[in-house]
Amino acid sequence: MDFILRFILVDLPEAFLLLTISLAMFNHSVFEKKKQAFLFAFLFSVAGEFLSFIDVFYQPKVLLMFLLTTAMIISLYRFNLLKSVFMGTTAIGSMIVVESIVVIIFNSQQIYWSEILSTTMLMITVRCLYLFMFVAIAAVMRYFKFDIRRLFQQNRLNRYLFLLILVGSIEFLLILFMNTSFFIRNNNSATIAVYTPQFQLFFQLAILALFIVIVVLFRIYINLTINRVEEETGTPYLNSIQDLFTAVRSMKHDSLNHYTAINGFLKKELHHHAKEYVEQLLQETVIIEKTADASSQVLERIKNPAVSSLLQSKMVVCLAERITLTMNINDLSQFSQMKTFDLIKILGNLLDNAIRATSYELEENRYIILEWGQSEREHYLYIENSGPTIPETKLKDIYDVGYTTKKSGEGGLGLTIVKTVTDRYSGKILVRSADGVTSFRISFANR
């Protein structure tokens, strides 16, 4: 009778709650597949009772239950091996931790396992506390819709990080397992075989093997991280070089047009017109040089070389497109809390949009203003440009994927990227567009 009650009131709820916690790690509900959940609970409970009946020691029993849990998750839920192992580790790890906490609580009151086994009321109390802790963990995870995948973006680097954490979790589980075994053995009845010397070597070798795996995975992860940093750092420079080549080709094209015009005047012996044309070009050149000198002085305040390279290339593009670029840059923070790659995304996309919008204007009306500063409450980036006005009804849609003002209809990702990066750093975007002037102001609170 006691076996049946224990099986129904303890073993089945324990298995069901362990599965609930495992599924909750990936924001899955145990009730999504009820048949699989109840079958898992039944098989897990039967296996646990069978191993206890044939007197399997605590450590190999837990190891066998871990393997069984992983195998059942794979077969019943069709998850991949990595995910199933992680869920199996979560289940068995939760069981060991909760068991240890319950034992520690009662041992702290000078109540040991032999006394618990001999007292019905104490046994009921232990089982209720044991199951209640599982319920609390599962309830908290489901309430907050916990999903460990949110911590890892879907790329090769984060997959290795996920694998590294998984193997590290198993390593920690084994170490915790051995330590709790010592604790239970030393503080409870010696009749409970929770730690046997014949298994000590096995677990030590397993811990050593996992440590070697962790070292290998960590080395791979570090190499991938270095490659990613090099790639992200190099991308802004490559983009800047591409912009420079584009601007140089544009200037070359303009120069050929000017030479053609001057040559035409000279062939027709319109020397006066040729002189006026050259003088006009010289005046424009002087203005351009002054603007370039002023911009170069501003760029000297830029602390980040990738950002400086980006702004230099955009400055050259503006010169080629006859756009007046005015920059006012504060040399204080310059978003030092932001990763270079994310900062490049914001600046590059906003300036590209501004250049494209300004190009629709007459040359004498083309301008872009860039202000980058800091106040007592915030540091901000402000970009204003002339160009087509965005209708007020469309302002709320400009961050949607696919929204674009290009006549070709292509693009539509720039502002989406800007919004995503800004939100990631808890920033705010304020956009205004009226009377042929559009401005974006991005701000971050001082911390």
Which DSSP string do the residues of 253-270 spell out, in sequence order?
Answer: HHHHHHHHHHHHHHHTT-
Residues 6+ apart with CB under 8 A from 16: 30, 37, 38, 40, 41
- Which tokens is 138 given? 């599962």
Report pLDDT for 181: 59
Q: Is residue 193 over pLDDT 50? A: no
| pLDDT tens digit sequence for 253-305 | 566 666 677 777 677 777 776 777 777 766 666 655 665 555 556 666 677 77
- Its pTM stands at 0.49
Residues 6+ apart with CB under 8 A from 21: 90, 91, 94, 134, 137, 138, 141
Least confident among 6-10, 148-152, 424-428: 148-152
Identify residue 423 by its one-letter amino acid code. D
For β-strands 324-329 and 378-386, DSSP reports them as unpaired
- Which tokens is 294 given? 């002023």
Helix (H, G, I), strand (E, B) or coil at 437: strand
- Which tokens is 197 given? 């010397």
Indicate the DSSP class of residue 189: -
- Which tokens is 49 given? 């009772």
Model confidence at 404, pLDDT cuts 50, 70, 90, reads: low
Least confident among 81-85, 264-268, 309-313: 264-268
Phi, psi of 15 (to 5 degrees): -65, -40
More confident residue, 357 or 337: 357
Mean predicted confidence (pLDDT) in 93-119: 80
